[in-house]
Structures are given as C-alpha cells and as structure tokens.
C-alpha cells in the first residue's frame, strides 16, 4: 500500500506542486518587476494585489537570496 501512495505522489501530486510553485514565483516576479529596474506593463492592474502579495514577495526574495535592491518589504 505504501508503494501505491508513493507512486501516486510522485506521478501525480509532485508535478502539480512544482507547477504551482512555478506559477506563484512568476506571479510574484511580474507583480514586483519594477523593483528590479524593468518596466511593468501590467503595473496599474497589479496595484490592488500588492498588499496581499508583499509577504509572499518577501519569502520569495529571501529564498532566492536577492539583495542589493530597494525592496518594499525589508
């Protein structure tokens, strides 16, 4: 039974978790792209998301070890 659970996790759940993480990272990067010196063409639409994403952005840039930018969360 444990083999079946491991197979299901590896075959089905793990790719979904990885895809979710990739999409979350992409959303956070695109939302806060102007802090890295790039223009954000969707910036006006992302203004409402900033308060909700600021903690996720902080965790994201700490995981990537990004320093030296004027980041809004630190």
- Dig out the tokens for 61 from the structure: 């840039």
The residue that leads in pLDDT, 67 or 17, is 17
The residue that leads in pLDDT, 18 or 57, is 18
pLDDT of residue 19: 94
pLDDT of residue 20: 93
pLDDT of residue 1: 75
Q: What is the mean pLDDT of residues 24-33?
A: 86
Specify whether the CB–CB gap between 63 and 21 falls below 8 A. no
Alpha-carbon distance of 33 to 20, in angstroms, equals 20
Specify whether the CB–CB gap between 35 and 19 falls below 8 A. no
* pTM, entire model: 0.64
pLDDT of residue 22: 94
């Amino acid at each position: 039974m444990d083999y079946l659970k491991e197979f299901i996790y590896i075959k089905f759940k793990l790719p979904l978790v990885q895809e979710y993480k990739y999409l979350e990272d992409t959303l956070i990067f695109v939302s806060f792209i102007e802090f890295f010196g790039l223009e954000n063409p969707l910036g006006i639409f992302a203004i409402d998301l900033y308060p909700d994403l600021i903690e996720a952005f902080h965790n994201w840039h700490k995981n990537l070890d990004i320093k030296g930018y004027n980041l809004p969360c630190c």
